[in-house]
Amino acid sequence: MLKRLKNKLKNEFAVKDFVLEGKNFRNGRISGQEYFDLLIGKKDKERLMRISLYHGDLPNYQPWVELFSIVPVIKSDGKSIDYFGSDLEYYLLDLISAELNEGGRIFVEYYEDQETMDMLSRGVPEPCTRLGNQLFRRGFTWFKDWYFAEGFNEGGQKLQAEKPIDEEHETKHLEGIKEEAEKFLENEDEYEKTGYTERAFERAREILKDFDSTDQP
């Protein structure tokens, strides 16, 4: 499991004007887990983030991927780009989500992602936040905000998202997301009007619009 993703990431590959490559692979704390650095750059390579892969032990334990120690502003080969909200971020999320099947999980550290950090701290539903919405659009339907670390190895704040294990769970998760979006919009006046909250409300409206379109005969 996740072997194809690992093989893709451990060799140089281009995304837009950037070159990425996984390096320094080592075993993790549990069987089937490994860590590596994702480097960026053609000549002077810099670390973009660290990635942990857990290959799973089916049928009992599903695979998962964790992205952490993410550099928010990338400076590589004379170029500079904000990672969060970039084509580079979207490419990596597409790549990872495509390799996670039913029950697969992703963890993304978000404490350098100011918009997601601010909205989650204000109680905005995860699928209406910047990062949560990107994961929701890629088929993840269950979320957990790891805002408070529960031990010594979790790292910074991270958002966990999972794909449903079957249609029954998917329906249940989606119904919950719809209810959260409706309640969020009903309480719109309770939130300070900022660019972040306006975008969160727009995402909530888009979520409900999608539900309305699928409900049409």
Query: What are 30-45's pLDDT values in tens digits?
Result: 999 999 999 998 888 8
Structural domains of the chain sorted by starting position, each given as residue range(s) with its CATH number in brackets:
3-165 (3.40.630.30)
pLDDT classification of 51: cutoffs 50, 70, 90: very high
Residue 102 has phi, psi (to 5 degrees) of -55, 130
pLDDT classification of 153: cutoffs 50, 70, 90: low
Measure the CA–CA gap between 95 and 107, rounded to whole angstroms.
Answer: 14
In this prediction, residues 119-145 reach a mean pLDDT of 97
Measure the CA–CA gap between 162 and 181, rounded to whole angstroms.
Answer: 18
How far is Cα of residue 193 from the mean position of the Cα atoms in its chain?
25
Measure the CA–CA gap between 18 and 89, rounded to whole angstroms.
Answer: 12
* DSSP-assigned letters across all residues of 55-114: --BTTTB--EEEEES--SEEEETTEEEESTTSHHHHHHHHHHHHH--TT-EEEEE-TT-H
Q: What DSSP state is assigned to residue 16?
A: T
The predicted model scores a pTM of: 0.92
The pLDDT value recorded for residue 80 is: 85
In this prediction, residues 147-155 reach a mean pLDDT of 59
108 vs 57, residue with greater confidence: 108
Measure the CA–CA gap between 62 and 169, rounded to whole angstroms.
Answer: 15
Residue 212 to residues 8, 60, 98, 202, 215: CA-CA distances in angstroms?
A: 38, 36, 26, 15, 5
Lowest mean pLDDT: which of 30-34, 50-54, 91-95, 121-125? 30-34
How far is Cα of residue 149 from the mean position of the Cα atoms in its chain?
18
Q: Indicate the angle between helix axes 195-215 and 167-186, nearest 10 degrees.
A: 130
Q: What DSSP state is assigned to residue 185?
A: H
In this prediction, residues 136-142 reach a mean pLDDT of 98
CB–CB of 40/19 below 8 Å? yes
The closest alpha carbon to 132, from 144, 122, 121, belongs to: 144
pLDDT classification of 155: cutoffs 50, 70, 90: low
The pLDDT value recorded for residue 75 is: 82
The closest alpha carbon to 164, from 215, 211, 105, 109, belongs to: 105
The pLDDT value recorded for residue 217 is: 47
Is the per-residue pLDDT at 176 higher than 60?
yes
